[in-house]
Structures are given as C-alpha cells and as structure tokens.
C-alpha cells in the first residue's frame, strides 16, 4: 500500500534557479507588442546552472509569442541558415521569407521574417551579436507581418539588460 501525503515536504536537493534576467528584460517589452496579458510560458535550460537562458511570453489564446534566447549556433551559421531558408522557404512550410542585415546592434545583426503557411502566423526573428554572445529575439503573431522591423528597435532596448 502506498500512502500519499496531501502536503509533501519539498525535496531539499531540488534547486530552483533564480529569476532570469532575460525574463525581466523581455517582460517589459511583452506589453508593448500586443501581449499585454501574456504570461511566462516557457523557461529554457539553465545557463551554467545559475539562470535561465531562454524566456518566452505567450497570450492565452496563442495569438502572440515573444521569446528571447541565447543563439544555439554561431552568428555566421545562423545567417547562413537564414539565407538558405530564404532560397527554399516552401521546404519548411514558410512563404515570403526575407533576410536583411541591419546596423546598430553591436558587431553584427540580421532580421528575418516569413509567414508560416499551415499555422497562418507571421514570424519574425532578430539575431544579433553585441559582444561575445549572440542572441535571438523572436515574435510569432497572427496577422502582423511588420514584426521584424519593430523587433530590431526592441533588440536595441533589450541589449543593455542582457547578461554579459
């Protein structure tokens, strides 16, 4: 027979990471991009075991998803993948893919936008390298194609708040 305690005591070996600086930086921006009622929905893997390196906000109806994360590949590799996708977007179920390099976000930056055909959602990304790390800021929103332009300015405002 197994007895389940109605109020189990917490496991002292399980540690909760401290609040993420990414979520703090991104939370201020979530309200500006149509995600006023958004809540943290996704928390990524711990960065060196001390803080989260991904933060995402989503509205309850799924109409808006705004996320910020460390890039999983080098800036140059991310740019090459974006250009390859622009050359053959239908292979990924995307249409109208545009990739443009941008100035003013540190050492290097580009923006990418496209339309997810099956989901009927516009998706925009800004990938930038302000220093040693590269970051990815993404916005998926139904019926909002101009997201990439606005994400570039948002990335500029977030950059000073990012972990070094």
User: What pTM, to 2 d.p., does this model score?
Assistant: 0.75
**Residue 154 belongs to some domain of the structure:** no
**Residue 139 belongs to some domain of the structure:** no
Do residues 76 and 57 share a domain?
A: no
**Residue 13 belongs to some domain of the structure:** no
Mean pLDDT along residues 131-157: 80
Confidence of residue 126 (pLDDT cuts 50, 70, 90): very high
**Residue 148 belongs to some domain of the structure:** no
* Backbone angles phi and psi of 9, in degrees to 5: -80, 145
What is the number of domains present in the chain?
2
Do residues 84 and 42 share a domain?
A: no
pLDDT digits (tens, 9 = 90+) for 43-74: 455 555 444 567 777 777 777 788 888 888 99
C-alpha–C-alpha distance, residues 157 and 147, integer Å: 15
Do residues 83 and 111 share a domain?
A: yes
| Residue ranges making up the domain that contains 24 | 19-61
Do residues 80 and 106 share a domain?
A: yes
Do residues 46 and 77 share a domain?
A: no
**Residue 30 belongs to some domain of the structure:** yes
Mean pLDDT along residues 121-133: 90
* Whether 43 contacts 20, CB under 8 Å: yes
Do residues 90 and 51 share a domain?
A: no
**Residue 14 belongs to some domain of the structure:** no
- Whole-number Cα distances in Å, 27 to 33, 68, 88, 113, 144: 10, 10, 34, 22, 20
**Residue 4 belongs to some domain of the structure:** no
Please count the other Cβ atoms lying within 10 Å of the Cβ belonging to residue 76. 11
């Amino acid at each position: 027979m197994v007895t389940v305690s109605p109020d189990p005591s917490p496991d002292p070996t399980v540690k909760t990471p401290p609040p993420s600086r990414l979520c703090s930086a991104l939370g201020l921006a979530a309200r500006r991009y149509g995600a006023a009622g958004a809540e943290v929905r996704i928390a990524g893997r711990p960065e060196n075991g001390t803080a989260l390196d991904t933060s995402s906000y989503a509205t309850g109806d799924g109409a808006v998803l705004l996320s910020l994360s460390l890039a999983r590949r080098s800036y140059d590799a991310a740019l090459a993948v974006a250009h390859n996708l622009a050359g053959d977007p239908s292979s990924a179920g995307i249409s109208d893919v545009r990739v443009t390099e941008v100035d003013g976000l540190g050492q290097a930056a580009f923006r990418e936008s496209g339309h997810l055909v099956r989901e009927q959602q516009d998706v925009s990304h800004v990938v930038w390298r302000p220093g040693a790390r590269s970051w990815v800021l993404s916005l998926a929103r139904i019926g909002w194609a101009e997201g990439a332009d606005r994400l570039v300015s948002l990335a500029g405002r977030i950059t000073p708040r990012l972990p070094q």
